[in-house]
Structure 1
């Protein structure tokens, strides 16, 4: 029983760390690229955006890249550079 409780506790603590978002630099909101403009740029670059959201100080997308692979990417809100990405193999 102790092993089961310990395993459950470790899983609960480790899970949020495994799925932690990116750490983007904080910028004043008036300096951010407008969401609509950034979405349009990404789509022009070949991304198919399923979900676009603000996560802390990052823009985050879920969708597909131009190769059709599933992606989860965090972008800096001022430069538009990718800060963290996960691409399905």
Structure 2
């Protein structure tokens, strides 16, 4: 009887991971994207401390801290640099 419980736990874990899925950013030609190094420099100039910076689909994704020291996860449009989705810990 332990197998059905394990399956239920795994299904629930998958469902919760889906709830925190990434953002949907508009697709742009790669030659139009802000260069990663330039964008990271811009973000640090705005006070962000970057722990992880990566491409997630058509978005740039930042994990780190904002200028107030709060943990952030932010998805940015790769051409405009505008935030598309963000989560900030209180």
TM-score, structure 2 normalization: 0.88
The root-mean-square deviation of aligned C-alpha atoms, in Å, is 1.6
Shift of 1:9: 5.0
**Where in structure 1 are there 5+ consecutive unaligned residues?**
none
Shift of 1:17: 1.2
- Tell me the equivalent position of 1:10: 11
* Distance in 1 between residues matched to 2:17 and 2:65, nearest whole Å: 24
- Tell me the equivalent position of 2:75: 74
Runs of 4+ in structure 1 deviating by more than 6 angstroms, as ranges, are none
- Tell me the equivalent position of 1:88: 89
SS at match of 2:5: helix
1:4-33 deviation digits (Å, cap 9, x = unpaired): 256325314413312211100000000000
* Distance in 2 between residues matched to 1:80 and 1:44, nearest whole Å: 14
* Distance in 2 between residues matched to 1:36 and 1:6, nearest whole Å: 43
**Where in structure 2 are there 5+ consecutive unaligned residues?**
none
Kindly tell me the number of residue pairs found equivalent between the two proteins: 89
TM-score, structure 1 normalization: 0.89
